[in-house]
A and B are shown apart, each in its own frame.
Chain A
């Protein structure tokens, strides 16, 4: 049966990341200079009253991230979260003088991200969080730290669907995405009718449906799709260019300009750690290119 796919994809991803983490530990243990471990500032000084000062004073930071997003934020079997988002958060925490062990990870699925920021339950959210204006009405974004983009995944033997335009041309073709996600909203403008869009709670369910012929394509951010392609043993492929720009930002309390600027500077100053963060996590998936840090957007 195909139900296996979800589980096996997870297992492989977890194993890959765990192996990567082990490798890092060995390096870290040797205290080598080219370690991927983000550095922790000794005694950083901050202007009184800023978020940075408050966090540094407190000695812990609460970070919202996903626990179920392979490559970005995924809880492993030991209960630790791993992924690119997690590593980025560690870089910022380090600049605040907070060590890995003092970071409190809060699971923030897509639907609650604004809520936890507004409620002050977390200091920041790093969770494949696409910057957009509706969200900006309620929170502020630092970054972006990564430019994702939406793409289309189809069965390898499919030559009919070549990109999002194929759904306009062929009103019978169906495409699957996750309920309430930005990619699901983005694809709508290419559809001839609403009934072409199939929505599930999880992308693994979309992949299962692609594999058993219930849908013709799956669409979401390239990184997530690449994960499925590399697990599919040649069953799936990506088609067409990235047709959206999904700048991933770091969600913080609305109007906290100082914290926003601090995050942007920290990322700019830690290019090397940034690259290492990618390569030890999402970069493990075959076919990905190591990104360079995008230009920050103005803080507001």
Chain B
């Protein structure tokens, strides 16, 4: 999935501003993510992490600035945007699997309807992906019959089935019972190792140390620090990052 020589970053945000009413949720955000890079975004609650993540596939429109995916400016709502979203995988905190479809149908919907693959081809690929994330034997069940960890792994398979250029994860393990967190993190770690470009919002510092190329720390809608994991966790420069780390590393 790492593509050939590229002059530009795969995802590029420049001067992004967003307000919810009076609330300035994204304040002058600049961020460039190269192909194959894994970026972990951390920060206190309400700091704008989810908004940033959702802005990248325009689930949240922004008011100022530019966002480019693979060099292409995010289009207005419409066909072109749908095409672009097909290249950007997204994994949600609450899985958001389609409740009325089986696991297999969840994974094949996008390839069949958007990529216009044949059903046989889509089924075959879906089963491979489900095997890869370890839920191959659940293919014919409905989401409600699966555990949270299994559902989240299906959601990852669903995103992968589109062969995305980049994957966005918005707190993928926050809704899970502790014993299920690792099964999801393992899948993500192996994805990262295979060279997938990833933006991951998470509080799992172990994952960040293990898999991230870079950690971005947000507070109050701004990117306050951006560094490799080793540097960030051992020598944070800003007071707010230090403060934040002291709070979450205690438990």
Physical contact A–B (CB less than 8 Å): no
Q: Tell me the A residues contacting B by CB distance below 8 Å.
A: none
